[in-house]
Amino acid sequence: MTMDEARMLEALRDAGAVLHGHFQLTSGRHSDTYVQCARVLEDPALTNELGRAIADDVAGRGIEVVAAPAVGGIIIGYAVAQALGVRFIFSERVGGVMTFRRGFSVRPGERVLVVEDVVTTGGSVAEVVGLVETAGGVVTAVASIIDRGGPKAFDAEFRPLLQLQVESMEPDECPLCAAGTPVDSPGSRRLSS
């Protein structure tokens, strides 16, 4: 079964993954809408369906490894790698710097697909792209479940399954901040106390 936009939106709604309020995104920008893909990825069958949809979309590129940023990209990245039948690695932050740990590496010339759950500016993705390229790997594309819209911090071809045009803004331009509405940061990078 092919994952189409209607099925994706239904899955997001059924999982309670689209939240409304005042949110700080991983990018640092603020929004009144947050997509918590972790809620969708709680369902292994749905996760495998999403992984297969991404794999089908990037088929024929000679991908040898899937790389994802922790934490959000790990589950969907693994599902994509499984669907493609290739190796999977992920990056983590050490002292605030994205790095491959745990013996993970990219060989020179290796063809890599970078996978993330939700992309707004793509800052974390850009860091993974940089790690791959520094190692001599070739980024074939970037794929995600959701693209929140707007300019991206990376130049690689971008292949999201679903585009959601959700407004985000810098904190100093945020009307919710101006109104004194408390901000929530449900992503993998929490607000500091």
In a domain, 7, yes or no: no
Q: 39-58: buried (b, 16+ CB within 10 Å) or exposed (e) per residue?
A: bbbeeeebbebbbbbbbebb
**Residue range(s) defining the domain that contains residue 122:** 44-165
Q: Give every CB contact of residue 189 below 8 A, 6+ residues apart in sequence.
A: 26
- 53 belongs to a structural domain: yes
135 located within any domain: yes
Instruction: Note whether residue 179 is domain-resident.
Output: no
Confidence (pLDDT) at 2: 55
Q: Tell me: pLDDT of 96 over 50.
A: yes
| Helices (H) then strands (E): counts for the chain | 6, 8
Q: What is the pLDDT of residue 188?
A: 56
Tally Cβ neighbours within 10 Å of residue 145.
29
Residue 191 confidence (pLDDT) above 50: no
Alpha carbons 153 and 100: distance in angstroms, whole number: 20
pLDDT (tens digit, 9 = 90+) per residue, 103-150?
A: 999 999 999 999 999 998 899 999 999 999 999 999 999 999 999 888
Signed CA dihedral, 188, 53, 113, 150: sign only: negative
Domain membership flag for residue 144: yes
Q: Is 185 helix (H, G, I), strand (E, B) or coil?
A: coil
Would you state the pLDDT for residue 34?
86
Decide if 186 is inside a domain.
Answer: no
Q: How far is CA 190 from CA 27, 145, 147, in A?
A: 11, 22, 21
Q: Which of 60-64, 69-73, 134-138, 186-190 bottoms out in mean pLDDT, i.e. has the lowest?
A: 186-190
Domain assignment present for 192: no
Residue 75 CA to residue 95 CA, distance in Å, equals 23
Residue 192 has a pLDDT of: 43
How far apart CA 71 and CA 118 sit, in angstroms, is 11
pLDDT, tens digit (0-9, with 9 covering 90-100), for 16-64: 888 889 999 877 889 998 888 889 999 999 999 999 999 999 999 999 9
**148-171: average pLDDT:** 90
Total structural domains within the chain: 1
CATH number of 75's domain: 3.40.50.2020
Please list, residue by residue across 63-97, b when 16 or more beta carbons sit within 10 angstroms of its beta carbon and e when fewer do. Answer: bbbbbbbbbbbbbbbbbbbbbbebebbbbebeeee
pLDDT score, position 136:
97
Token pair 């004194």: residue: 180
Whole-number Å distance between alpha carbons of 191 and 1: 39
Residue 36 domain-assigned?
no
Chain Cα centroid distance, residue 107: 23
Check residue 193 and give its pLDDT.
Answer: 37
